[in-house]
């Protein structure tokens, strides 16, 4: 529960700290930050010379698949993947089997996390019962049980009246409603972004408007109700513009972007790899540029993985029949360090903020800070650490990544949760 | 030139010289059809598997005849009544067929990218016989062969492709092939049936049939699937036929030496009036005959010449 992390470059976006310092963690809390600190008796010392010491990273969007699809992932394997990827906390989406739409399922998830979880687990409860979009889930009890947000992620709540009621009903609990913005009629049979690549491949496309009409609708509903709306996995230039305008107008809307939408375009689909299939689909070059701008200027407050494990047989066949989604917990931080920070598309303090203060702030979670008294959750980075994506070495039970075989430099090298080293 | 490819998956990936190679080889195959004994020993001892996951009469028969005239052993495998109906995955079926050591697998699949998936997993040659709305390369090659036979050349010709380009693998393969061979391609149809970003393929897009066919050397009419009404692409077959169908009246505005093509099967009275389909400009049956020659050429280049 106690560690002295010595002589690292401490990067704490919350306090604006960016200096070589020592960090003392005592009894699961941050005790002190300073120079020349000495370890009390029996406290292990970690030498972080040449490394970057950050508040523990928080993934506000992952699918841990338990209960119900343990062949894809379990809370134990998913949180090991998180720890290996530099995350100290993971929010897990409600589309388990059974759906996390009542307190019994939330209790079960938290019990499994206590029993076998390596990092902190924060469940997200459903907006509607069984994600069916017909009746509200028991949102008050979900909040009492420990859910940190509401989402039918994977499905869009198409009934605007019901979604308005959900936003209103959620107000007293102070938890955001997370929107999977996708108009099912516009999406139709589309399995990738609509454009030249889809036309050439003969795959049905989904236009950017599939997402944007729902982002626009949900922003108007948030404006109507005063609720906190969070847009999951934002993927288009138009959505970024809508969120930016709404925020300027004072609407309580936040957004997250995934590493795959920040790094890949629909050109990646040309290899027919089902691991390039996800919802929303990989978009065009201009969309990727807009996401990067939004991430830099704060329109997008968080990077989220949308870690979506699937078994190999669900991701090796015909593209149009493959399951949606990719794993991300173990590749997100290395990829972002090498592909966004190293070439100068994003500065390191901003990336760290989008992984810490961003998600912690918008979900009102403890953590994301190295202020005295904060949870002793720490991620240590080595910006020169070489890496290569080898799916067979994943801690996750699943291997479905579009980044297999890529390499680069810069990776998390140690993950500390509550003052305890959980990785490596 | 020496053929180097293991597979024929798309026209998009072919070099113009490779297309010419296939057409020249096909030309030399057409003579076999007129022989008393229609058989040459080029693929004796080779096995060709026709793996058809989607109903097809003409393409499957065409590949079957092509293989048999070249003396290959041809086995037909259709998804209905097979292990696919018992829930075996496409890849598992493919691995089982590979274990029987075929030399060429000809595959028709409703999913775009199905043949590419097979080619990645199989050591034998794979020929795409049509995948989803992606490509149908042998169809485009037989169309090019037909035009070249009738016109004597391909370079500089104007082609207009009319109808449901959005769902057409034939159109995609032809657009790539015709552009590579120096032809000017116009696509015409209601905007709902023209694929997004179509101009980026290097074609002109027209929404008026008369204007689109006026200067055409070749008009290729596409089949309209009757279920397109259900997706809201068109209001009715009747209206489609009135606005986009090719009848004798419209043909009067065309060049006197225009060729009318159709990949078949024709919806008579919908996209093509019977008088036009059966008329003097129509080369629809030449396309079918050339289909056998082109498929012989492709099988020969993949399994016969490459191994030698």
Is A307 part of a structural domain of the chain? yes
* Planar angle of CA B148, B150, B155, nearest 5 degrees: 35
Q: Residue A32 is part of which domain span?
A: 3-52+375-423
Q: Which positions in chain B touch A201 (Cβ < 8 Å)?
A: 112-113, 134
Q: Write down the H helix ranges in B75-190.
A: 90-98, 114-121, 137-151, 169-180
Q: Which of A401-410, B43-52, B73-82, B116-125 has the lowest mean pLDDT?
A: B73-82
**Do A251 and A358 reside in the same domain of the chain?**
yes
Set of chain A residues whose Cβ sits within 8 Å of the Cβ of B131:
202
- Answer yes or no: is A370 within a domain: no
CB contact under 8 A, A317 and B135: no
Quick check: B247 and B275 in contact, CB under 8 A?
yes
C-alpha count within 13 angstroms, C-beta hemisphere, residue A346: 31
Q: Which of A306, A338, A377, A382 is an active site residue? A: A306
Residues of chain B contacting residue A196, judged by C-beta atoms under 8 Å apart: 196-197, 200-201
Residue A317 is nearest to which of B91, B133, B195, comparing CB atoms? B91
Residues A103 and A34 in one domain: no
Domain with CATH 3.40.50.1370 in chain B: 16-134+291-305, 137-287
Segment A317-343, tens digit of pLDDT: 899 999 999 999 999 999 999 999 999
Are A213 and A253 in a shared domain? yes
- In this prediction, residue A91 carries a pLDDT of 98
Q: What is the spatial distance between Cα B188 and Cα A285, in angstroms, rounded to a whole number?
A: 28
Mean pLDDT, rounded, for A1-24: 96
B230 band by pLDDT with thresholds 50, 70 and 90: confident
Residue A313 near chain B (CB below 8 Å)? yes
**Is it the case that residue B306 has pLDDT exceeding 60?**
no
Contact indicator for B149, B142 with CB cutoff of 8 Å: no
Task: Characterize B94-110 residue by residue with b for buried, 16 or more Cβ atoms within 10 angstroms of its Cβ, and e for exposed.
Answer: beebbeeebbbbbbbbb
Nearest CA in chain A to B92: A317
In a domain, A235, yes or no: yes
Q: Do A203 and B132 touch (CB under 8 A)?
A: yes
For residue B83, pLDDT over 80 is answered with: no
The answer to whether the Cβ–Cβ distance between B172 and A321 falls below 8 Å is: no
Closest-CA distance, A204 to chain B, in angstroms, reads: 9
B243-276 pLDDT, tens digit each: 999 999 999 989 999 999 999 999 999 999 999 9
Q: Is the pLDDT assigned to residue B138 strictly greater than 90? A: yes
| 8 Å CB contact of B89 and A317 | yes
Q: Which residue of chain B is at minimal alpha-carbon distance from A205?
A: B196
Q: Which CATH architecture has domain B16-134+291-305?
A: 3-Layer(aba) Sandwich (3.40)
The stretch B181-189 carries a mean pLDDT of 98
Nearest CA in chain B to A322: B111
End-to-end CA distance of chain A: 16
Residue B201 has pLDDT above 50, yes or no: yes
Q: Which fold has domain B137-287?
A: Rossmann fold (3.40.50)
Task: Please indicate whether residue A347 is annotated as part of the active site.
Answer: no
- Whole-number Å distance between alpha carbons of A348 and A340: 9
| Helix H or strand E segment including A377 | none
What's the number of CA atoms in the CB half-sphere (13 Å) around residue A246? 28
What percent of chain A is modeled with pLDDT above 70? 100
A368 located within any domain? no
The 3-state DSSP class for residue A344 equals coil
Q: From its phi and psi, is residue B278 left (phi > 0), alpha (psi between -120 and 50) or beta?
A: alpha
Scan for tokens 């970690």, then name that residue: A46
Specify the pLDDT at position A147.
98
**Cα(B298)–Cα(B25) distance, integer angstroms:** 8
Which pLDDT does position B86 carry in this prediction?
66
**How close, in Å, is residue A319 to chain B by CA atoms?**
7
Domains: count for chain A = 2
A321 touches chain B (CB under 8 A): yes
Residue A12, burial from CB neighbour count under 10 angstroms (0-12, 13-18, 19+): buried
How high is the pLDDT of residue B308?
43
Tokens linked to B55? 């109903």
Question: Is A199–B116 a contact, with Cβ atoms under 8 angstroms apart?
Answer: no
Nearest residue to B271 (alpha-carbon basis) of B302, B293, B241: B241
For residues B273-282, average pLDDT: 95
Q: Mean pLDDT lowest for which of A72-86, A117-131, B43-57? A: B43-57
Query: How does the average pLDDT of chain A come out, rounded?
Result: 97
Give the mean model confidence (pLDDT) for residues A181-194.
Answer: 97
Q: What is the pLDDT of residue A408?
A: 98
Among A415, A424, A358, residue whose Cα is nearest residue A120: A415
Confidence of residue B2 (pLDDT cuts 50, 70, 90): confident
Say whether both A144 and A168 belong to one domain: yes
- Nearest CA of chain B to the CA of A123: how many Å? 35
Question: Using 50, 70 and 90 to split pLDDT, how confident is the model at B225?
Answer: confident
One domain, residues A258 and A344: yes
Q: Rounded to a whole number, what is the distance in Å from the CA of A41 to chain B's nearest CA?
A: 60
Across the interface, of A199, A207, A321, the residue whose CB is closest to B111 is A321
Does position A167 have pLDDT exceeding 60, yes or no?
yes
What pLDDT was estimated at residue A160? Answer: 98
Is residue A280, in this structure, part of any structural domain at all?
yes
Residues of chain A contacting residue B111, judged by C-beta atoms under 8 Å apart = 318-321
Q: Are residues A131 and A64 in the same domain?
A: yes
* Dihedral sign of CA atoms A383, A385, A391, A395 in order: negative
The CATH number assigned to the domain holding A257 equals: 3.20.20.140
The residue written with tokens 């989604």 in the block is A325
Split at pLDDT 50, 70, 90, the class of B50 is very high
Residue A369 counted as domain residue: no
Apex B46 CA angle, B44 and B49, nearest 5: 130
* Partner-chain contact A202 B196, CB within 8 Å: no
Q: What is the pLDDT of residue B82?
A: 60
pLDDT digits (tens, 9 = 90+) for A219-252: 999 999 999 999 999 999 999 999 999 999 999 9
pLDDT value, residue A156:
96
Among A363, A397, A415, residue at a domain's last position = A363
Confidence band, pLDDT 50/70/90 cuts, at residue B91: confident
Averaged pLDDT for residues B15-29: 97
The confidence score (pLDDT) of residue B57 equals: 87
Span B48-53, mean pLDDT?
A: 94
Nearest by CB: A201 against B89, B113, B200: B113
Residues A157 and A271 in one domain: yes
How far apart are alpha carbons B65 and B57 in whole angstroms? 12
Q: Are residues A323 and A385 in the same domain?
A: no
**Residue A81 falls within a domain, yes or no?**
yes
> Which chain B residues touch A203 with a CB distance below 8 Å?
112-113, 132-134
Inter-chain contact A203–B89, Cβ cutoff 8 Å?
Answer: no
Interface test with A, best of B7, B110, B112 (most A CBs within 10 A): B112
Q: Are residues A167 and A276 in the same domain?
A: yes
- Assess A87–B contact: CB distance below 8 Å, yes or no: no
Q: Which residues on chain A are in Cβ contact (under 8 Å) with B132?
A: 202-203, 320
Nearest to A317 among B117, B132, B169 (CB): B117
Mean pLDDT of B22-47: 94
- List chain B residues with CB under 8 Å of A202: 112, 131-135, 169, 172
CB A389 within 8 A of CB A331: yes
**B12/A200 touch (CB, cutoff 8 Å), yes or no:** yes
pLDDT digits (tens, 9 = 90+) for A112-133: 999 999 999 999 999 999 999 9
Instruction: Indicate yes or no: CB of A317 within 8 angstroms of CB of B90.
Output: yes
Euclidean distance between CA atoms A311 and A303, whole angstroms:
25
Q: Which 8-state DSSP code applies to residue A234? A: -
Report ipTM (2 d.p.): 0.92
**Which residues is B108 bridged to in the sheet?**
B52
The verdict on a CB contact (< 8 Å) between B201 and A319 is: no
SS3 state of residue A362: helix
Whether residue A93 has pLDDT greater than 80: yes
């Amino acid at each position: 529960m106690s560690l002295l992390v010595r002589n690292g470059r401490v990067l704490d976006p919350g306090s604006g700290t960016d200096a070589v310092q020592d960090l003392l963690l005592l009894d699961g809390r941050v005790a002190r930050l300073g120079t020349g600190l000495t370890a009390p008796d029996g406290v292990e010392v970690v030498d972080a010379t040449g490394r970057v010491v950050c508040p523990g990273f928080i993934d506000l969007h992952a699918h841990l698949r338990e209960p119900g699809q343990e062949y894809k992932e379990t809370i134990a394997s998913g949180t090991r993947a998180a720890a290996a990827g530099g995350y100290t906390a993971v929010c897990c989406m409600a589309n388990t089997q059974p759906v996390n739409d009542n307190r019994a399922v939330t209790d079960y998830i938290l019990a499994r996390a206590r029993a076998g979880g390596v990092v902190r687990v924060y469940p997200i409860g459903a907006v509607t019962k069984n994600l069916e979009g017909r009746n509200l889930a028991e949102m008050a009890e979900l909040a009492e049980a420990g859910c940190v947000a509401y989402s039918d992620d994977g499905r869009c709540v198409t009934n605007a009246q019901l979604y308005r009621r959900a936003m209103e009903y959620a107000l007293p609990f102070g938890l955001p409603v997370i929107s999977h913005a996708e108009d099912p009629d516009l999406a139709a049979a589309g399995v990738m972004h609509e454009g030249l690549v889809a036309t050439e491949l003969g795959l049905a496309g989904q236009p950017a408007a599939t997402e944007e009409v729902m982002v626009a609708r949900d922003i108007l509903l948030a404006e109507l109700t005063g609720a906190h709306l969070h847009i999951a996995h934002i993927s288009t230039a138009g959505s970024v513009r809508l969120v930016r305008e709404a925020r300027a107008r004072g609407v309580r809307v936040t957004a997250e972007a995934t590493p795959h939408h920040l790094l890949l375009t629909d050109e990646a689909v040309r290899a027919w790899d089902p691991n390039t299939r996800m919802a929303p689909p990989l978009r065009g070059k201009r969309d990727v540029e807009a996401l990067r701008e939004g991430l830099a200027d704060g329109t997008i407050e968080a990077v989220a993985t949308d870690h979506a494990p699937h078994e190999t047989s669900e991701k090796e066949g015909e593209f149009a029949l493959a399951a949606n989604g990719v794993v991300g917990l173990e590749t997100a931080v290395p990829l972002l360090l090498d592909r966004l920070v190293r070439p100068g598309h994003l500065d390191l303090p901003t990336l760290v903020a989008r992984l810490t203060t961003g998600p912690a702030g918008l979900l009102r979670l403890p953590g994301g800070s190295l202020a005295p008294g904060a949870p002793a959750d720490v991620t240590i980075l080595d910006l020169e650490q070489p890496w290569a994506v080898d799916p067979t070495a994943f801690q996750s039970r699943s291997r479905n990544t579009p980044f297999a075989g890529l390499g680069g430099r810069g990776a998390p090298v140690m993950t500390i949760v509550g003052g305890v080293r959980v990785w490596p | 030139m020496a053929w180097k490819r293991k597979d024929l998956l798309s026209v998009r990936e072919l070099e113009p010289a490779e297309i010419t190679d296939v057409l020249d080889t096909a030309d030399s195959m057409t003579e076999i059809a007129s022989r008393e004994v229609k058989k040459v020993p080029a693929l004796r001892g080779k096995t060709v598997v026709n793996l058809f996951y989607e109903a097809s009469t003409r393409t499957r028969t065409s590949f079957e005849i092509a293989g048999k005239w070249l003396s290959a052993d041809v086995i037909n495998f259709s998804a209905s009544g097979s292990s696919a109906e018992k829930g075996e995955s496409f890849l598992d079926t493919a691995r089982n067929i590979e274990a029987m050591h075929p030399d060429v697998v000809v595959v028709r699949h409703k999913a775009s990218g199905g043949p590419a998936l097979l080619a990645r997993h199989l050591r034998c040659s794979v020929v795409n016989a049509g995948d989803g709305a992606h490509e149908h390369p042998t169809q485009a090659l037989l169309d090019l062969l037909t035009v070249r036979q009738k016109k004597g050349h391909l370079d500089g010709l104007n082609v207009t492709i009319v109808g449901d380009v959005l769902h057409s693998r034939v159109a995609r393969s032809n657009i790539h092939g015709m552009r590579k061979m120096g032809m000017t391609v116009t696509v015409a149809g209601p905007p709902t049936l023209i694929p997004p970003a179509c101009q980026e393929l290097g074609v002109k897009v027209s929404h008026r049939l008369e204007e689109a066919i006026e200067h055409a050397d070749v008009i290729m009419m596409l089949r309209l699937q009757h279920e397109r009404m259900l997706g809201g692409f068109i209001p009715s077959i009747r209206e489609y036929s009135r606005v986009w169908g090719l009848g004798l009246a419209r043909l009067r505005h065309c060049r006197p030496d225009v060729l009318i093509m159709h990949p078949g099967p024709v919806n008579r009275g919908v996209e093509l009036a019977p008088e036009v389909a059966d008329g003097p400009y129509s080369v629809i049956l030449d396309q079918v005959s050339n289909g056998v020659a082109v498929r012989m050429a492709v099988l020969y280049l993949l399994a016969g010449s490459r191994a030698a």
